[in-house]
Structure 1
Amino acid sequence: MRSTFHGLEVAKRGMFTQQSAIYVTGHNIANANTPDFSRQRVNFNQTEPYPAASMNRPNIPGQMGTGVEAGSIQRIRDSFLDYQYRNESTKSGYWSTRLDAISRMEDVMNEPTEFGLAKAMTQFWESLQDLSVSPENEGARAAVRQRGIAVAESFNYLHSSLTQIREDLGQQIKTGLLEVNSILRQISELNDQIKAIEPNGYLPNDLYDRRDALVDELSKYVQVKVDKQPTGGNALPIAEGIYKISIVDSTGAAIEVVSSTGYKTLSIDPSISGDPTNPNGYVRNVVLSDGTTIAPNDFANGKIKALIEAYGYGSTPTSVVGYYPDMLNKLDQMAYSFAEMFNAQHRAGYGLDNSTGLDFFSVGSVSGAAGAIQVSINDLSKIAASTALNEPGNGENALNLSKIKDLLITSGTVTISGSPVSVPIQGGTIQTFYEGFIGQIGVDGQQAQRMKVNADTLAKSVNENRQSVSSVSLDEEMTNLVKFQHAYSAAARMITVVDEMLDKIINGMGRVGI
Structure 2
Amino acid sequence: MSKISAMMDTGKRSLMNSQTALQTTGHNIANKSTEGYSRQRVELTTNVPVSEGRLQIGMGAKASAVTRTNNPWLEKQIQKEGESMGFADSRADALSRVEQVYNEQANKGLNQYMTDFFNSFRELSNNPESLASRTMVRESGAAMAKDFGRVVGQLRNVQEDLDGQIITVVEEVNQIGKEIASLNEKIQMIEVQKTPANDERDRRDLLLKKLGEKIDITWAEGKDGQVTVTAGRTGILVSSSTANELKAAQTGDRDRVEIFYTGTGTPANITSQITGGRIGGALEVRDNIIEGLLGHVDKLAYTLAKEVNQAHIEGFDKNGRQGVLFFEMPEAVKGAASNISLNKTIANDVGRIAAGAQPGASGDNTVANVISSIQSRQVMDGTATLDDYYNTQVGQIGAVVQRSIKAQESQKNVMGQLNNIRESISGVSLDEETTKMIEFQKAYDASARLIRTADEMLDTVLNLKRM
Q: Tell me whether the two structures share a fold, i.e. TM-score over 0.5.
A: yes
Map 1:501-512 → 2, pairs under 5 A: 501-508=457-464, 511=467
Map 1:145-294 → 2, pairs under 5 A: 145-231=138-224, 241-247=225-231, 249=233, 256-267=236-247, 272-273=251-252, 278=255, 281=256, 283=258, 286-290=260-264
1:101, CA displacement in angstroms?
Answer: 2.0
Does the aligned pair in 2 maintain the 1:351–1:392 contact within 8 Å?
A: no
Task: Describe the superposition over 1:51-85 as per-residue Cα deviations: whole angstroms up to 9, x where unpaired.
Answer: 3xxxxxx42x4111111222111222111111111
Query: Is 2:324 aligned against 1:358?
Result: yes
1:206, CA displacement in angstroms?
Answer: 2.1
1:20, CA displacement in angstroms?
Answer: 0.8
- Of stretches 196-205 and 86-95 in structure 1, the one that deviates more from structure 2 is 196-205
**Percent of aligned positions that are identical:** 31
SS in structure 1 of the partner of residue 27 of structure 2: helix
Does the aligned pair in 1 maintain the 2:248–2:257 contact within 8 Å?
A: no
Alignment-derived partner of residue 351 in structure 2 = 381
Query: Is 2:48 aligned against 1:48?
Result: yes
* Match among 355, 364, 380 for residue 394 of structure 1: 364
Does the aligned pair in 1 maintain the 2:4–2:457 contact within 8 Å?
A: no
Cα distance between partner residues in 2 of 1:133 and 1:356 = 21
Does the aligned pair in 2 maintain the 1:348–1:357 contact within 8 Å?
A: yes
Alignment-derived partner of residue 54 in structure 1 = none
SS in structure 2 of the partner of residue 4 of structure 1: helix
SS in structure 2 of the partner of residue 120 of structure 1: helix
Cα distance between partner residues in 2 of 1:198 and 1:432 = 67
Cα distance between partner residues in 2 of 1:227 and 1:408 = 57
* Match among 381, 384, 388 for residue 432 of structure 1: 388
Cα distance between partner residues in 1 of 2:270 and 2:392 = 30
Task: Describe the superposition over 1:346-370 as per-residue Cα deviations: whole angstroms up to 9, x where unpaired.
Answer: 1122221122231111142222111
1:112, CA displacement in angstroms?
Answer: 4.5
1:26, CA displacement in angstroms?
Answer: 0.9
Query: Please, what is the CA RMSD of the aligned residues?
Result: 2.3
SS in structure 1 of the partner of residue 3 of structure 2: coil
* Match among 295, 319, 336 for residue 369 of structure 1: 336
Query: Is 2:13 aligned against 1:19?
Result: no
Cα distance between partner residues in 1 of 2:111 and 2:433 = 64
Which AA in structure 2 matches 1:350?
F
Which AA in structure 1 matches 2:239?
S
Cα distance between partner residues in 2 of 1:4 and 1:295 = 71
Task: Describe the superposition over 1:381-427 as per-residue Cα deviations: whole angstroms up to 9, x where unpaired.
Answer: 111112221123222321221111222237x5xxxxxxxxxxxxx74
Alignment-derived partner of residue 315 in structure 2 = 349
Higher helix share: 2
Alignment-derived partner of residue 316 in structure 1 = none
Which AA in structure 1 matches 2:243?
Y
Alignment-derived partner of residue 63 in structure 1 = 56
1:475, CA displacement in angstroms?
Answer: 0.5
Does the aligned pair in 1 maintain the 2:323–2:353 contact within 8 Å?
A: no
Distance 1:124-1:461 versus aligned 2 partners, 3 A rule: same
Query: Is 2:326 aligned against 1:326?
Result: no
Does the aligned pair in 2 maintain the 1:148–1:375 contact within 8 Å?
A: yes
1:483, CA displacement in angstroms?
Answer: 0.5
SS in structure 1 of the partner of residue 299 of structure 2: helix
Does the aligned pair in 2 maintain the 1:99–1:449 contact within 8 Å?
A: yes
Query: Is 2:462 aligned against 1:488?
Result: no
Does the aligned pair in 2 maintain the 1:50–1:64 contact within 8 Å?
A: yes
SS in structure 2 of the partner of residue 338 of structure 1: helix
Cα distance between partner residues in 2 of 1:308 and 1:223 = 12
Cα distance between partner residues in 2 of 1:41 and 1:202 = 14
Query: Is 2:455 aligned against 1:471?
Result: no
Alignment-derived partner of residue 408 in structure 1 = 378
Which AA in structure 1 matches 2:338?
G
SS in structure 1 of the partner of residue 55 of structure 2: coil
- Number of residues paired by the alignment? 462
Which AA in structure 2 matches 1:323?
I
Alignment-derived partner of residue 418 in structure 1 = none
Cα distance between partner residues in 2 of 1:160 and 1:12 = 77
Query: Is 2:467 aligned against 1:500?
Result: no
Q: State the TM-score, normalized to the length of structure 2.
A: 0.92
SS in structure 2 of the partner of residue 63 of structure 1: strand
- Of stretches 182-191 and 218-227 in structure 1, the one that deviates more from structure 2 is 218-227
Does the aligned pair in 1 maintain the 2:84–2:277 contact within 8 Å?
A: yes
SS in structure 2 of the partner of residue 364 of structure 1: coil
Unaligned runs of 5+ in 2: none
Alignment-derived partner of residue 90 in structure 2 = 97
Task: Describe the superposition over 1:179-229 as per-residue Cα deviations: whole angstroms up to 9, x where unpaired.
Answer: 222211111111112222222233332222221111011111233333222
Does the aligned pair in 1 maintain the 2:303–2:379 contact within 8 Å?
A: no
Does the aligned pair in 2 maintain the 1:113–1:119 contact within 8 Å?
A: no
Does the aligned pair in 2 maintain the 1:42–1:70 contact within 8 Å?
A: yes
Distance 1:468-1:248 versus aligned 2 partners, 3 A rule: farther
Alignment-derived partner of residue 128 in structure 1 = 121
Cα distance between partner residues in 2 of 1:309 and 1:22 = 51
Distance 1:395-1:330 versus aligned 2 partners, 3 A rule: same
1:268, CA displacement in angstroms?
Answer: 5.2
Does the aligned pair in 2 maintain the 1:90–1:301 contact within 8 Å?
A: yes
Map 1:303-314 → 2, pairs under 5 A: 303-312=278-287
1:462, CA displacement in angstroms?
Answer: 0.7
1:438, CA displacement in angstroms?
Answer: 1.6
Q: State the TM-score, normalized to the length of structure 1.
A: 0.84
Does the aligned pair in 1 maintain the 2:42–2:66 contact within 8 Å?
A: yes
